[in-house]
Amino acid sequence: MANTYLSIQGDRFLINGELTYSEYPDCPHQGLLMNARFIQGIFDDKSGHERYHRFGRVFDPEKNTDDLIAALPQWYAAGLRAFTVGLQGGGPAFTIENSTIINDPFLYSGRGLDPAYAGRLDRLIKAADSLGMIVIVSFFYGAQTRFLNDDKEIENAVRTVAHFLRVHGFRNVIIEIANEYDVAEFRSHPIIAEPQGVIRLMKLAREITGLPTGCSGIGGSFNREIAEASDVILIHGNSQSRSQLYNLIRKAKAVTPVRPVVINEDSPCIGNMRTALDMGVSWGYYNNMTKQEPPADWRILPGEDQFFALRMMEALHIPCQKPEDEFVLCGMEKDNVYEGKRFIRLSAMYPEMVDKVEFRLNGRLIDTAYEESFAVCRITNYFLGPLTGIRSGDIMEARIYLADGQVLSRSVQAE
């Protein structure tokens, strides 16, 4: 029996008939659905697990899901009310090439669901249901649809997952037909790559399940046809500045009749969360360092996770205690290295106060970051390049220049 019923009223979400966050009377964002990208929540690689035994941990797909379930109460207490999980997962962003991964939950040309995947998805949705959380279930990920031969098999897979959700009676689910339908990898399946095909698949899933349905595009992408056919407009904020995100949200909010707009993938950039909340839409935290590189650590970790959680609590008027240090230099930890590569970044509780960050290795300036994420080898707000050649005992310093003229410093010695 379901404990958590999601419903929609205009552009607001209700859980069990009450606006979300209504338990916090002073919350100015009731009806929103703050969320995070936990896309690897039921991840597996049928080519083998050995290469995922890293970061000081051993990967096991069942433990991976159980660890996420164990972490959900911590996230719920911080105000998170939804998360996205993918049937076909999502690519490790920095380390392992997607084309070498076999993350294939479908059997019999899409007509069946692998029992192991089905079991993990079942207990994850049930765990969310018991807490009062919503699961955005993403059906397809571009790099993994290569195991489905044609559009007919894609339709079969939609029916298979939709029937699974209906038979189990889940009412705490939003369906995302595809993670970024307009990425190049979907072009071999026109039914996903073209808006009319996406709309057809959304209609099919909705007719079977009765659940709200949508589909995301790449960061900054907006398709009005898909938005008008969606129960929930899903957009992504990857690579978007705050102004670009503002303009993207304006397009989504212009769709009539009104419906909820949910950013279910963005970045670790708290500045973008602030833009979304100012515009009255739900924001999705995406930390592809700690939450998309298997084995993921699903806890609220020091640095980006902690500061996102605290800023979310502040925004929602949930009582919280500020940390002793509002800056954390990440990436120099002993287990945070892969094939000699480190991903160095400075996390800030209030990044809006930071003018720039200089990174110095053993006293030598190696890079400067002017925007979130403040990182060495910054590429976009969610993506950075690796730093190699760091030896035990090397000292990384982040010199922080604040907008008020103060200059602070945080240093870490490589383990």
Contact (CB, 8 A) for 205 and 229: no
pLDDT in tens, 358-368: 999 999 999 99
Per-residue confidence band for 415, with pLDDT thresholds at 50, 70 and 90 = confident
Is the pLDDT score of 334 beyond 90?
A: no
Helices (H), 79-237: 115-131, 151-167, 190-193, 195-209, 224-229
pTM assigned to the model: 0.98
Instruction: List the domains of the chain with CATH numbers.
Output: 6-316 (3.20.20.80), 327-413 (2.60.40.10)
pLDDT in tens, 86-113: 999 999 989 999 999 999 999 999 999 9
> Tell me, what's the pLDDT at 93?
84
pLDDT in tens, 295-316: 999 999 999 999 999 999 999 9
Which DSSP letter does residue 380 get?
S
Nearest to 284 by CA among 228, 233, 343, 320: 233
Contacts for 222 with CB less than 8 Å, ≥ 6 apart: 235, 248, 251, 252
| Single-letter amino acid, residue 101 | I
Is the pLDDT score of 1 beyond 70?
A: no
| 409 beta partners | 399
Q: What average pLDDT does the chain have?
A: 97
Interval 273-292 mean pLDDT = 96
Interval 264-289 mean pLDDT = 97
> Tell me, what's the pLDDT at 81?
98
